[in-house]
Amino acid sequence: MSSFEFTTANKIIFGGGKLNELAEQVRRRVRRLLLVRGHESDAVGRIRELLSAQEVQFTEFEMHSEPTVDLVREGMRIAGDFDCDAVIGLGGGSVLDTGKAIAALATNPGDVLDYLEVVGKGQALVEASLRYIAIPTTAGTGSEVTRNAVIEAPEDRVKVSLRSPLMLPWLALVDPELTYSMPPEVTAASGLDALTQLIEPFVSVKANPMTDAICREGIRHVALSLRRAYENGADKSAREGMSLASLFGGMALANATLGAVHGFAGPLGGMFHAPHGALCARLLPLVMETNIRALEARPPGHPALDRYVEIAQILTGDRNARAFEGAGWVSYLVRKLEIPALSDYGMQPDDIAEAVEKTLKANSYRGNPIPLSEEELRGILERAL
């Protein structure tokens, strides 16, 4: 058995109604706090009440876009001016990533670009983050248990990561009730993002027995829950299943790695300002098909091919399913959930060469179970347009 390490958030609290436990977690531990959040919601009001009851002073940083370098800088400034000793991120993956980056950079000297991968200096963080509490209101990114934050660098037209074990949240508080109000299109895109983050680590070059177990269970939950949650947002068991799948996907990617889907998603998100989840959703079945075809065409015996067979059997419920049937199951779901084509975000055939070039440099792509040729990568994007 290969050796491996496994790390996750300092503490995970999961379950319906568990938002109420926030009060106990901050009591006598937090003095001044930055609340990073999206739009006004019932959850925001409840957190205000919980913090006020514990006499925790707080200020709010409201955001309505995916994180950019400048947005993170502004959050760092506010956290510093308010002398925060903790940060809460309440929202989807973009909000959680922003809060995570602010908490980390508030204690480390310098600028965002000093630590950012690919387009920055890529320096290692050396000081522990402020206490960070991640509270997701969507079910997809698993950002509440990951050690990175995806940040857009507009000048370079790319999304890249700020990454460090020191960024793992102090507390991940996952309350499925907070996802009930997600509209169908967000449920679809974020849910397929969760599936991507379970499938890619399972077939990746850094898969290990711990992440394998988590991925198998998470894929099963998506198979049982995603379409139900899309068709009926009030389906409590489906919402819980997808919150678990998202949590497991975050744990898996933080301890294994990803692959070509996310290798594409970072550059494409920066080039076209497209939602990360929707990009992953569109690309997932096409990357699965291409990987399977490449694995079958090259020297036999690659373990990832057997894993694609196992994925197909979990998704379809058929013990005799073959690898391509799993990709077909995902492709059918993408159509049923009305996932947009890449051209809907403004991508044209002339953009493919730049996207492929950037994908080959992306850290996520390096985890793909088999290297793909530029022609194979171009073919994926041509079919996704």
Where does residue 293 fall: left (phi above 0), alpha (psi -120 to 50 degrees), or beta otherwise?
alpha
Please write the tens of the pLDDT for every residue from 88-131.
Answer: 999 999 999 999 999 999 999 999 999 998 888 889 999 999 99
Q: For the chain, what is the largest distance between any 2 Cα atoms, rounded to a whole number of angstroms?
A: 64
pLDDT band at 72 (very low <50, low <70, confident <90, very high): very high
Say whether pLDDT at 50 is over 70: yes
The H-assigned helical ranges of 232-275 are 236-255, 260-272
Antiparallel, parallel or unpaired: β 131-136 and 32-37? unpaired
The H-assigned helical ranges of 132-208 are 184-203
Please write the tens of the pLDDT for every residue from 339-350.
Answer: 999 999 999 999
Would you call 236 helix, strand, or coil by DSSP?
helix
Please report how the helices 352-361 and 260-272 are oriented relative to each other, as an axis angle in degrees rounded to 10: 130
Cite the residue boundaries of each domain of the chain with CATH code 3.40.50.1970: 12-179
Say whether pLDDT at 302 is over 90: no
Which pLDDT belongs to residue 1? 54
Report which secondary-structure segment, H or E, holds 59.
strand 57-62
Give me the percent of the chain exceeding a pLDDT of 70.
100
Q: What is the Cα–Cα distance from 121 to 130, expressed in whole angstroms?
A: 22
Which pLDDT belongs to residue 75? 96
Which pLDDT belongs to residue 200? 98
Q: What is the Cα–Cα distance from 333 to 326, expressed in whole angstroms?
A: 11
Backbone angles phi, psi at 55, to 5 degrees: 60, 35
Q: What is the Cα–Cα distance from 217 to 215, expressed in whole angstroms?
A: 5
Round the average pLDDT of the chain to a whole number and report it.
94
Say whether pLDDT at 301 is over 80: no
Burial of 354 per CB tally in 10 Å (0-12, 13-18, 19+)? middle
Q: What is the 3-state secondary structure (H, E, C) of 370-383?
A: CCCCHHHHHHHHHH
Please write the tens of the pLDDT for every residue from 163-217.
Answer: 999 999 999 999 999 999 999 999 999 999 999 999 999 999 999 999 999 999 9
Domain 12-179: which CATH number of 3.40.50.1970, 1.10.1040.10, 3.40.50.150, 3.90.1530.30: 3.40.50.1970
Which pLDDT belongs to residue 299? 73
Q: Which amino acid is it at 261?
A: V
pLDDT band at 324 (very low <50, low <70, confident <90, very high): very high
Count of CA atoms in the C-beta half-sphere (13 A) of 165: 5
Which pLDDT belongs to residue 270? 86
Q: What is the Cα–Cα distance from 327 to 312, expressed in whole angstroms?
A: 7
Mean pLDDT of 322-329: 97
Say whether pLDDT at 64 is over 90: no
Higher pLDDT: 203 or 297? It is 203
Say whether pLDDT at 155 is over 70: yes
CATH number of 184-384: 1.20.1090.10
Who contacts 337 (Cβ-Cβ below 8 Å, separation ≥6)?
Answer: 184, 188, 191, 192, 226, 227, 230, 281
Mean pLDDT of 228-235: 96
Which pLDDT belongs to residue 256? 94
Cite the residue boundaries of each domain of the chain with CATH code 1.20.1090.10: 184-384
What's this model's pTM, rounded to 2 decimal places? 0.94
Local structure of residue 127 (DSSP, 8 states): S
Backbone angles phi, psi at 149, to 5 degrees: -130, 130
